[in-house]
Chain A
Amino acid sequence: MNDIPRRLAKCFAAAFPQLAPERIPQASTESIPQWDSLALVVLTSLVEEEFKIQISPNDLDYFVSYERILAYLQKNVVVP
């Protein structure tokens, strides 16, 4: 069972409480004005906490949209 999308959506909901759940899959730095550098730190920490991973600074380039982050996690998170 791959529940990465559900868990990632949970992180987005915590970082961007004003974002409607149905809009999360389309979320990006361009569509969410609140997605600034501070929000990125919070979102990154939430993802690290949820998936128990350490994100390298180089990988933060992926953190510009829900879709890109999901792709990153699908590639880097081991699903038991």
Chain B
Amino acid sequence: MELEKTSIRLHHVGIVVPNRERVDMLVDLLGIPVHHEQYVRDYEADCIFVGRTGTYLEFIVPRGGKLSEFNRGLGGLHHIALEVQDLSALTRYLQSRGIRLLEPSSVPAGDMRINFLPPVYTRGITVEFVQVAQASGIAAPSSAEGDIPSRSAGNASTRMKLAQALAVIQKMPPPREGDYNIFLVCGFMPLHLQTFLTAHLGLLMGNRPIAMRCGLYGDLAGNLDRAAEEKCDAVAVALEWSDLDPRLGYRHAAGWRLEQIADIVQTATQQMERLRIGIARIARQKLLALVLPSLPLPPLFLAPLVRGDSAALRLEAAILQCASALAAEPLLRVLNPTSLDRLSPTGDRLDLASELRSGFPYTLSHASALGQLLAELLLPAGPKKGIITDLDNTLWNGILGEDGIEGISWDLDRKTYGHALYQGLLASLADSGVLLGVASKNDPELAARALRREDLLIPAEMLFPVEVSWGAKSEAVRRILQAWNVGPESVVFIDDSPLEVAEVAAAFPAMDCRIFPTDNERALGDLLLELRNLFGKSAVTEEDRIRLGSLRAADGMAAAAAQTTPDDFLAGLEAEIILQINQPDQRAFELINKTNQFNLNGKRISETQWKARCEDPDHFLVAVAYQNKFGPLGTISVVGGIRRGDELLVDIWVLSCRAFSRRIEHQVLRELFARFGVESINLDFLPTERNGPLKEFLARISAEAPHPSLRLTKAVFLENCPNLYAKVSQR
């Protein structure tokens, strides 16, 4: 049996403290929040965990028993605790090595199970092994002052508590005009769902105030109408069975007669169709997140619970049919029931006491899960852009330098098929525009030959750049980031060596660095799912398809540019700029919301605002695509605003950093002057932490220090504009 060494990490350091007052004093002194507290009956001690995430200090306050005599009652450093994935497996492994743990079986401690390695084996240091409950439905204990779970793929142990949600809301500034407005549509009392949704949205928006409105109790259809009329940034809809027919709820038990079932199914199906129309109407104007009924159906159907009842299945089919039709709406996001299942087990969702007492049907844990997932639907994290992978024991099994090109494997026969799955996922991600780079300590020539093996599931041309050398991994990663022109926060690094992962993580703290789990298929399955989640997107755009080609072209272009003068270089590029006027698309929206360096004012817009702006005839919007003899860059700039007399008021202008140094920004301004026939352009400039490149450009072209409402006349522009070489056309 093998010990999964890579899965062990420091969980906490345990310190015995004689009394609670001393703990409070230490917490206050160190300024570390209490994460959670628990009483461990077996050791007769209160255990107070402090710290933010990952590794904690555990203050152990004995109430009696042996621990009260520790260090003659004075307390002190007691143990270090290592987290393991499978404590039973570890116990068996240690037994096979002749080592017995202190307890005959692991001891429950809150959401953990623990056991100890006696000090005799470690020269006096007591080592505790901890197995933390994961998606088992056991919530991690925490307190109002404790950590707030952040955005995650989600498991039951990361849910926010009601006290935490209220604490988050209390810290928010009061909402004002122009803040994020959301309408929560439900037929039940919104109560804690409103609280959790507000808190999670607040966290995702950096504690920006949220103004949330709700409709009337028991009137979901009417609330949809109200949401359609309201001016708001987004709408969240939480459907329940009772919204389709009150007899499907718990407040109309008189309707549970068998002869009514056929009528219930028919009424509910018709109502679902009416609601579908109402939901689709909103989603044509506003961003909308939809939760399908998440509670179990009430016990009115004939079949035993183990068997699918025909009528109940018809109801569920009607819901799914409507949901699949709605999911095609561009501004509508349907919550994936599987994600909800991971975070909130079906059996723990209904709080009948609360439903009967106050009209709120959810348990706190389910409301918390729904609030979190709805918030993540409304404010999704942008997908990451690239993966940097190791080769040996990661992309394939084996060490190239030792096993040779034919010795490395990813097949079923040699029980190395996990690497094939990894390759397959990388290839699939590359198809959707994800960049794949290689950072490997290897012989470059040997690695190049191995990457040309025909049975590799990922074509070698999908990998760019391939950084193979004997230098530090972090240096290879740095070169790849430069070639991609992306920040470390947009990249995942994967390597089988914990040492290499630690080295890269230390160099790039913002990067998501992961250990490739060799010989652990379950962990590999989790990794593959997480990668799909991190790079998830709703559709593959034209930009996704040409991204890799653009980067290779940029590489070639940089080499060519170094050999000539800027003007000769630009003149020889055979460049073409393609303007797309007042034909907004998703790429333009995304570009506005993710561009930082050449961004007029850093303002982001919601999808609802974007939709309204695109439909406003007074606003103009120009999307700019670019290509040259090295290949296309796709849409790289967006400029928008309104016309007032002979002046353009521009409040949106972004240019992708991939398109710098081609004088595209100059040509955009020239085209605005020419096509709109104006004498000046008023630029709504605001300095941000990162828009220095734009600021420098404005200073050069206007010959003055950039400031808000910077007015650039045509005469000044022409005086400062260098030679321009790209051909311009309009699509």
Chain A, 24-51, CB within 8 A of any chain B CB: 38, 41-42, 45-46, 48-50
Tell whether, in the assembled complex, residue B162 and residue A49 are in contact, meaning their CB atoms are under 8 Å apart: yes
Tell whether, in the assembled complex, residue A41 and residue B360 are in contact, meaning their CB atoms are under 8 Å apart: yes
Partner of B162 from the list A3, A17, A45 (CB cut-off 8 Å) is A45
CB distance from A55 to the nearest CB of B (A): 8
Among B63, B170, B357, max chain A CB count under 10 A is at B357
Given A1-B20, A54-B353, A57-B353, verify A45-B364 contact (CB < 8 Å): yes
Tell whether, in the assembled complex, residue A46 and residue B162 are in contact, meaning their CB atoms are under 8 Å apart: yes
Tell whether, in the assembled complex, residue B192 and residue A45 are in contact, meaning their CB atoms are under 8 Å apart: yes
Taking CB atoms, residues of chain A closer than 8 Å to B603 are none
Tell whether, in the assembled complex, residue B191 and residue A17 are in contact, meaning their CB atoms are under 8 Å apart: no
Tell whether, in the assembled complex, residue B144 and residue A10 are in contact, meaning their CB atoms are under 8 Å apart: yes
Tell whether, in the assembled complex, residue B163 and residue A11 are in contact, meaning their CB atoms are under 8 Å apart: yes
Tell whether, in the assembled complex, residue B353 and residue A80 are in contact, meaning their CB atoms are under 8 Å apart: no
Partner of A46 from the list B163, B170, B356 (CB cut-off 8 Å) is B163
Taking CB atoms, residues of chain B closer than 8 Å to A64 are none
Given A1-B63, A54-B353, A57-B353, verify A17-B358 contact (CB < 8 Å): no
Partner of A49 from the list B163, B191, B353, B357 (CB cut-off 8 Å) is B163
- With an 8 A cutoff between CB atoms, is B161 at the interface? yes
Taking CB atoms, residues of chain A closer than 8 Å to B354 are 45
Given A1-B46, A45-B192, A80-B39, verify A17-B166 contact (CB < 8 Å): yes
- With an 8 A cutoff between CB atoms, is A77 at the interface? no
- With an 8 A cutoff between CB atoms, is B167 at the interface? yes
CA distance A38 to B358 in the complex (A): 9
Taking CB atoms, residues of chain A closer than 8 Å to B167 are 14
CA distance A56 to B353 in the complex (A): 8
Partner of B166 from the list A3, A15, A54, A56 (CB cut-off 8 Å) is A15
A-B pairs with CB below 8 Å: how many?
49
Taking CB atoms, residues of chain B closer than 8 Å to A49 are 161-163, 364
CA distance A10 to B357 in the complex (A): 24
Least CB separation from A3: chain B residue: B20
- With an 8 A cutoff between CB atoms, is B707 at the interface? no
- With an 8 A cutoff between CB atoms, is B658 at the interface? no
CB distance from A57 to the nearest CB of B (A): 5
CB distance from B458 to the nearest CB of A (A): 48
Chain B, 45-77, CB within 8 A of any chain A CB: 46, 61, 63
CA distance A48 to B143 in the complex (A): 13
The interface on chain A, measured as residues whose beta carbon lies within 8 A of the other chain's beta carbons, has a size of 21
CA distance A45 to B41 in the complex (A): 26
The interface on chain B, measured as residues whose beta carbon lies within 8 A of the other chain's beta carbons, has a size of 24
Taking CB atoms, residues of chain B closer than 8 Å to A3 are 20
CB distance from B137 to the nearest CB of A (A): 14
Taking CB atoms, residues of chain A closer than 8 Å to B63 are 1
Taking CB atoms, residues of chain B closer than 8 Å to A38 are 191
Taking CB atoms, residues of chain A closer than 8 Å to B358 are 41
Taking CB atoms, residues of chain A closer than 8 Å to B191 are 38, 41-42
CB distance from B209 to the nearest CB of A (A): 15
Taking CB atoms, residues of chain A closer than 8 Å to B360 are 41
CA distance A43 to B353 in the complex (A): 15
Tell whether, in the assembled complex, residue A14 and residue B20 are in contact, meaning their CB atoms are under 8 Å apart: no
CB distance from A44 to the nearest CB of B (A): 8
Taking CB atoms, residues of chain B closer than 8 Å to A10 are 143-144, 163
CA distance A56 to B354 in the complex (A): 10
CA distance A15 to B191 in the complex (A): 13
CA distance A62 to B162 in the complex (A): 22
Taking CB atoms, residues of chain B closer than 8 Å to A45 are 162, 192, 354, 364
CA distance A46 to B61 in the complex (A): 26
Tell whether, in the assembled complex, residue A17 and residue B170 are in contact, meaning their CB atoms are under 8 Å apart: yes
CA distance A5 to B478 in the complex (A): 55
Partner of B144 from the list A1, A14, A60 (CB cut-off 8 Å) is A14
Among B46, B61, B144, B195, max chain A CB count under 10 A is at B144
Tell whether, in the assembled complex, residue A14 and residue B166 are in contact, meaning their CB atoms are under 8 Å apart: yes
Tell whether, in the assembled complex, residue A57 and residue B166 are in contact, meaning their CB atoms are under 8 Å apart: no
Taking CB atoms, residues of chain A closer than 8 Å to B364 are 45, 48-49
Which 10 residue pairs are nearest across A and B when measured between Cβ atoms? A14-B166, A14-B163, A80-B39, A17-B170, A41-B358, A49-B162, A57-B357, A45-B162, A49-B364, A14-B144
Known: A14-B163, A49-B163. 12 other contacts (CB 8 A): A1-B63, A10-B163, A41-B191, A42-B192, A45-B192, A45-B354, A45-B364, A46-B162, A46-B166, A48-B364, A60-B357, A80-B41
**What are 14 A-B interface contacts by the 8 Å CB criterion?**
A1-B61, A1-B63, A10-B143, A17-B170, A41-B191, A42-B166, A42-B191, A42-B192, A46-B162, A46-B163, A49-B161, A49-B162, A57-B357, A60-B357
Chain A contact residues, CB within 8 Å of chain B? 1, 3, 10-11, 13-15, 17, 38, 41-42, 45-46, 48-50, 54, 56-57, 60, 80
